[in-house]
Structures are given as C-alpha cells and as structure tokens.
Amino acid sequence: MKFTKMQGCGNDYVYVNGMEEKIPPEKKPELVRRLSDRHFGIGGDGVIFINASVHADFEMEMYNADGTRAQMCGNGIRCVAKYVYDNHLTDKTNLSIESFGKIKYIDLTLGEDGKVSMVKVNMGAPILKAAEVPVISDNEQVVDEEIEVEGKIYRMTCVSMGNPHAVVFMDDVAHLDIEKIGPYFENHKRFPERTNTEFVHVIDDSHVEMRVWERGTGETLACGTGCCATTVACVINGLTKHTVAVKLLGGELSCEWDTEANLVYMTGPAVSVFNGEIDLNQERVLYKGSFLVWRMLCFSRVKYFCLYFCRWYWEYIICFCAKRSI
C-alpha cells in the first residue's frame, strides 16, 4: 500500500489515497493502529484516507491513532488540500472537502515551486450549545464554568468545531503535566463523546500559547480545530481580539472568528515529509526480521564469549609459565 507522511505544525498523519488503495472498512481500525505506532509502524497521530465525494471535491476520512473515527482535523484537512493539488488530482486553488458529512471550503496559496505552501480553511460556525458540543451542563452554554478533575477545580469553556473541545485557561502551560491530567479530562463523565482539551495561556490580546490533549491520541504538537475553539473561547471570555496567533509545540497557526458572519478561519502550513510503500503482510516480515536479529545476537554473544575465553585462557597460560620460570 502506497502512502504519504504529512504534517501541519507537527500534527502528523499517514495519508492514503483511498481512490487507489481499497481497504475494507472493517479492517481500517486495526490497520490504523498498526500504521500509527511510532515503534512498529510508520508512526503518526492517526491515518487519513482521501476519497472521492459526491457532495464535495474530495472526502477526508480520518482516524485517530487508537483506530477510532474522528469528525474533523484542521491540520489534517490542510494536508489533504495540499496532497490533492500537489499530486495533480485537481488544478483548483479553491476546494471543498467533506469530512464526516460536513463540508469545509479551502483557499490554497502556492509557492515559487508551484506547490501548496499555505492553506486557509473556512472552518464554519462554532457550536456553543452544551447539548450539541456535547457536554453535560445545567447551562445552555458552558463558558468559564467549573469542572472538578482529580480533586482539583478548573474553569473551562466548551466549543465544538465539528468535534468537542474543552478550553482551559491557566497561567503556565509549559510545566503542565499533561500526560497525567489529559486522560482524566478526555474521559470525564461530563463529556458523553469524550473531548479534546486545550490548556491555554494568554500572552496578550493577539497571542496565546496552547498545549492540547487529543481524544484517542494523547498530546500532539498541534490541533487546528483546537486553535479555532481556543480563539472562540478567548473572544467569548473577553481575553483577546478576534484574530489570534496561536503558538503550539509544533509551530504557529493564525485563527480569526468573524462574529458578523459567525465563521472561523484558520491559516497555516502543510508539509509533505516523505512517500513510501508498506507491505500489509508486515507482521510476518517483522517476525522473520526479529528472528534473524535474535539469531545474530545469539551468534554474536557466542562469538564474543569464545574470544573472551580464549583471551583469558592465554593470559592464564602466560602467567603460569612466567611463575614456573621464576
């Protein structure tokens, strides 16, 4: 199976042309888990299949690293747009891409080499109604609302950008033990479909820094929908202007919430890392390879043991002869 490894601000996925590579739907979750493994697979935050669409130019079929389906990924959809243009599947610089039944509209900026260098995505209207995010609350919207996680009180604002987000503002995100707290937010009982969680420090009225725990994946270097949700949460809480530069572990994205049109725009890079081809019967190949390595290690150990023994034996003979001569 042919694939392309791509990343947007370090949010990396394995991209597969689903129009050429036909994978049965029931086999995709297991395949995704294998390919996403950073030690035994290709490695990535998940896998995205690029398919034909009846309703748009293309479809993005996205999976998290754990094999579960995901509704939307801002970094992923930018990379899909770059993939279809750079690989001559379209000559349009204004595209429509469907993801989980929702259509996003995209503008491409080309570099001097004629390939896509920057992508602007109309991410649509943010969803603020608690029941539609979804998040369990007595209020119609969850804005600066308390949540208790592992005995500690946090304040969160919940937004859906096609997938659920809980935005938590704090003074310091650099030293946050996100590996510890992230899973508790993701699987909290108040989120019926689990949630992505953004931990955000506001630098000034135009800049924030953010770390993200993505459901089904863990901490990633960037999250496009998370940046959009963060921008909306910042504006609602009166913390920033409507256009925000979001600093991430993997780079920076620019997000704008046009409140008059009620649309969120995200602009950022998309990068092709490498192309490759993988044998889907790899488990047998890995087994043979592992067995060969095991045999080589065993042989090496025997060889070095023999060399060590011979050296020790001759040193003993020399010392014994020297003592006899004295």
- Here the tokens at position 232 are 């909306």
Q: Where are the beta strands (DSSP E) in 189-300?
A: 196-202, 207-214, 218-220, 243-248, 251-258, 263-269, 271-277
State the catalytic residue, choosing from 9, 79, 158, 223: 223
State the catalytic residue, choosing from 9, 73, 228, 255: 73
Which of 3.10.310.10, 3.10.290.10, 3.30.1360.200, 3.30.360.10 would CATH assign to domain 130-261? Answer: 3.10.310.10
- For residue 218, is pLDDT > 90? yes
Q: What is the pLDDT of residues 167-197, one digit of tens each?
A: 999 999 999 999 999 999 999 999 999 999 9
Query: Which pLDDT value is given to residue 281?
Result: 83
In angstroms, the CA 213 to CA 219 distance is 4
What integer is the mean pLDDT of 290-312? 41
- For residue 308, is pLDDT > 50? no
Residue 79 annotated among the catalytic residues of the structure: no
- For residue 81, is pLDDT > 90? yes
**In this predicted model, which residue has the larger pLDDT, 260 or 302?**
260
Q: What is the pLDDT of residues 118-149, one digit of tens each?
A: 999 999 999 999 999 999 999 999 999 999 99
**In this predicted model, which residue has the larger pLDDT, 322 or 78?**
78
DSSP letter, residue 24 = -
- Outline which parts of the chain fall under CATH 3.10.310.10: 2-119+273-277, 130-261
Query: Which pLDDT value is given to residue 282?
Result: 61
Query: Which pLDDT value is given to residue 298?
Result: 41
Give 81's contacts (C-beta < 8 A, 6+ positions apart).
95, 97, 106, 108, 116, 119, 121, 270
Task: Name the band, by pLDDT with cuts 50, 70 and 90, for residue 68.
Answer: very high
Residue 310 annotated among the catalytic residues of the structure: no
Count of Cβ atoms closer than 10 Å to residue 139 Cβ = 9
CATH number for the domain formed by residue range(s) 2-119+273-277: 3.10.310.10
Amino acid sitting at position 323: K
